[in-house]
Structure 1
Amino acid sequence: MPNPYSEIFKAPGAKGFAAAGFVARLPIAMAPIGIVAMLSQTHGEYWLAGAVSATYALTNAVLAPQISRLVDRHGQAKVLTPTTIVSVIAFAVLLVATNQNWPIWTLFVSALLAAAMPSMPAMVRARWSEIFHDRPELNTAFAFESAADELVYIAGASLSVGLSVALFPEAGMLASTLFLAFGSAAFILQRSTEPRIRPLEHGGGGSAIRQRPVQIITFALIFIGATFATAEVSAVAITKELGQPSAASLVIGVYAVGSFVVGLIIGALNLTMPLQRQLAIAVAIIALTTLPLLVVNTVPMLALAIFVSGVAISPTFITAFGLIERRVPAAMLTEGVTWVMTGIGIGMALGSFATGWVVDNYGAHNGFWVSVAAGTIALLTVLLGQRSLGGERRAVSALPQPAE
């Protein structure tokens, strides 16, 4: 039986854009924590480091879907080139401003402009969709991308902090900026796999977020994202309470490993069950596996419970992006994918805040109640949206072309 992952990379240009896209997306994980590591060392104030990092992250969450919408209208190369240049220059200014101790307002302005960084995972998935549209190989490609996302978050944050601590404060952000510049350049130059621009349907000039499937999936994944953040914050708090704070990184790593392994397995299978049902099952598993987290009282139990709770994350992502590809008009695909990813980021931010508040006020073990609540809301959202998520892609009719 042929390896399904080797099969998808037989497509012309697939290896090139997938490799470039992986490098270019590393700043997604490296930049937010890299800003914190850099400024906390150079300025000695965590509030400032957190505020600048939040300025970048929240602005990027707002801008990324708009940039992706422009990509759908004008093509990847025309939009990614100027936005990436702006982001790279802004990150460079942030590095210089930090090193030279420029006024604090320059840190915020440069972080604000750096948020023009496009959503590279959405761009890569759009290229896979162009190659394998309506073919079973697309599920495998999306599984590979979910695994790549896991690796980015596992390796990116650790690399950024590790470089800043081991070399010099700006090292992590410098590496992140170089990855963005060279990875994006390599990706943009590969024009042969760039998705073609598709015409809009009549009255289809609005945002992809107006599409009911995008609304349902984005809302559900806000709460799935909250479960990620809850697991991380609670793991740190509980291991500290148990007197083994160094075990937190191992526990969080186990969480990602479970998702990574199961995602690769799912991607190798050619499941025939409707995607909306697969999504409901995956989210139901996430919701149910939050319950054992409430009763853990040792580090090994915590690691096991975290591992089990992570097994359905990649399958959730795979089916969610598959549904977006299936149900959203092709002319809005990149924006639709980006909205879903933005939802995950928003959920992680809200989950971190909510869990931190619960831990501070009610104790470390009660932080996982945020996961229980978030998982329940996500499951109800997906179950109530089954009818809207079913079916096929809406037909796209071209706008009338002007006479020559």
Structure 2
Amino acid sequence: MSNPYKEIFKAPGAMGFSAAGFVARLPIAMAPIGIVAMLSQTHGEYWLAGAVSATFALTNALVSPQISRWVDRLGQSAVIVPTTIVSVLAFFVLIAAANQDWPVWTLFASAFLAASMPSMPAMIRARWTEIFRNRPELNTAFAFESSADELVYIAGASLSVGLAVALFPEAGMLTGTIFLALGTAAFVLQRATEPRVRGSEGDVVQGSAIRQRPVQIITLALIFVGSIFATAEVSAVAITKELGQPNAASLVIGVYAVGSFAVGLLLGALNPRMALHRQLLIAVIVLAVTSLPLLAAGTVPTLAFAVFLSGIAISPTFITAFGLIERRVPESMLTEGVTWVMTGIGIGMALGAFVSGWVVDTYGAHDGFWVSVAAGAATVVTIALGQRSLAGESAISAPGQLSQPAE
């Protein structure tokens, strides 16, 4: 049996844009935590570090879908180049402001402008779609990208903090900014794989991709999934600290990502033929059920096992969600549609961290996992109620969009 991952990289240019894209998206994980690590050391105030980091993260969540909308209209190179230049320059100003103790407003202003950083995961998936549109290899490519996203969040955050602590406060942010500049440049230079700009192709699609019902359903569902992801991290830190083994938190969180990473690769290799909307429903049901053992974890080993178990459905959920976006969103809106889903994950992580932190402070470390249970149930309800739309059976999803048949 041939290796499906080896097969997808036989496509001309696939290895090049995927490698460049991996480097270019490391700042997605490095920047938010890197800002906190940098400012907490240079200014000694965690509230300030958190506020500046939140300014960057929330602004990027709002701006990146609009950037991707312009990418769909004008092409990747025409939009990625200027927005990345603005982001890189703003990051350098932020680093200088932290190092030179410039006024506080310069920190917020530069973080706000740095948020023009484009959504590289969406750009990469758009290129895979251009190569394998309506072919089974696309599911394998999406599985690879979901696993790569896991590595980005694991490696990026650890690298950013590690450099800031080991070398100097600005080291993590400086490295992330260099990755953004060099990775994006290498990505843009590969013009052969850049998706062509598509018109509405007879559908007379108007407005934003978020008006498409499948995008609304999947984005809402992945807000809940992002909450589960963040809750696992916050609660793991709180519980291991309560158990007197705070250093075990990194191991527990790493196990969470390993479970998701392994199952995601397996799903991509198997490439099941079941309709994607049904695959997604099964994945979120598994996600909800596997969150229940977290409530009973009372030791570090049982916590690690429960967290591993709860992570097995994360990548399958992402893979099938992005596959549905590719099928249900008009080609002229694909990049924006993918970006809205990525934005949903980010919003969910921010909300999950906040809510679970409040629950832990108010009720105790173990009760934080009730946020995961509630979010898991909400995910199942959202996807179950949206099955008809996700199957492409609704008459009209949004003004001007024609229905598409189920797989």
TM-score computed with the length of structure 2 as normaliser: 0.96
C-alpha contact 2:227 2:372 (8 A) present in aligned 1: yes
Q: Which amino acid in structure 2 is aligned with residue 86 of structure 1? A: V
Query: What residue in structure 2 maps to residue 236 of structure 1?
Result: 237
Query: What residue in structure 1 maps to residue 76 of structure 2?
Result: 76
Distance in 2 (alpha carbons) for counterparts of 1:11 and 1:253: 32
Query: What residue ranges of structure 2 are gaps of 5+ in the alignment?
Result: 402-407
* Of 10-19 and 196-205, the range deviating more from structure 2: 196-205
Query: What residue in structure 1 maps to residue 44 of structure 2?
Result: 44
C-alpha contact 1:26 1:179 (8 A) present in aligned 2: yes
Cα-to-partner distance string for 1:67-119 (whole Å, 9 max, x where unaligned): 00000000000000000000000000001111111111000000000000000
Cα-to-partner distance string for 1:195-247 (whole Å, 9 max, x where unaligned): 00111245412000000000000000000000001000000000011111100
Query: What residue in structure 2 maps to residue 146 of structure 1?
Result: 146
Runs of 4 or more off by more than 6 Å in structure 1?
392-398
Instruction: Please give the residue correspondences for 1:3-402 in structure 2 after superposition, counting only pairs within 5 Å.
Output: 3-200=3-200, 201=202, 203-391=204-392
- Among all aligned residue pairs of Structure 1 and Structure 2, give the percentage whose two residues are the same amino acid: 77
Q: CA deviation at 1:46?
A: 0.2
Distance in 2 (alpha carbons) for counterparts of 1:341 and 1:283: 17
Distance in 2 (alpha carbons) for counterparts of 1:290 and 1:10: 38
C-alpha contact 1:37 1:169 (8 A) present in aligned 2: yes
Query: What residue in structure 2 maps to residue 401 of structure 1?
Result: none
Distance in 2 (alpha carbons) for counterparts of 1:202 and 1:365: 51
* Of 19-28 and 202-211, the range deviating more from structure 2: 202-211
Number of residue equivalences? 398
Q: Which amino acid in structure 1 is aligned with residue 342 of structure 2? A: M
Distance in 1 (alpha carbons) for counterparts of 2:344 and 2:237: 24
Q: Which amino acid in structure 2 is aligned with residue 318 of structure 1? A: I
Cα-to-partner distance string for 1:273-325 (whole Å, 9 max, x where unaligned): 00000000000001001111111111100000000000010000000000000
C-alpha contact 1:199 1:397 (8 A) present in aligned 2: no
Distance in 1 (alpha carbons) for counterparts of 2:299 and 2:98: 42
Q: Which amino acid in structure 2 is aligned with residue 37 of structure 1? A: A
Q: CA deviation at 1:391?
A: 3.2
Query: What residue ranges of structure 1 are gaps of 5+ in the alignment?
Result: 399-404
Q: CA deviation at 1:150?
A: 0.3
SS in 2 for 1:245: coil
Distance in 2 (alpha carbons) for counterparts of 1:74 and 1:367: 45
CA-atom RMSD in angstroms: 1.5
C-alpha contact 1:327 1:392 (8 A) present in aligned 2: no
SS in 1 for 2:168: coil
Distance in 2 (alpha carbons) for counterparts of 1:93 and 1:101: 12
C-alpha contact 1:259 1:314 (8 A) present in aligned 2: yes
Distance in 2 (alpha carbons) for counterparts of 1:107 and 1:392: 49
Distance in 1 (alpha carbons) for counterparts of 2:194 and 2:331: 14
> 1:133–1:392: structure 2 CA closer, same or farther, 3 Å change rule?
farther
Distance in 2 (alpha carbons) for counterparts of 1:295 and 1:271: 33
SS in 1 for 2:247: helix
Q: CA deviation at 1:270?
A: 2.5
C-alpha contact 1:223 1:347 (8 A) present in aligned 2: yes
C-alpha contact 1:91 1:114 (8 A) present in aligned 2: yes
> 1:302–1:193: structure 2 CA closer, same or farther, 3 Å change rule?
same
TM-score computed with the length of structure 1 as normaliser: 0.97
Cα-to-partner distance string for 1:47-75 (whole Å, 9 max, x where unaligned): 00000000000000000000000000000
Cα-to-partner distance string for 1:9-39 (whole Å, 9 max, x where unaligned): 0000000000000000000000000000000
Query: What residue in structure 1 maps to residue 404 of structure 2?
Result: none
C-alpha contact 2:204 2:400 (8 A) present in aligned 1: no
> 1:134–1:392: structure 2 CA closer, same or farther, 3 Å change rule?
farther
Distance in 1 (alpha carbons) for counterparts of 2:100 and 2:386: 52
SS in 2 for 1:11: coil
C-alpha contact 1:326 1:392 (8 A) present in aligned 2: no
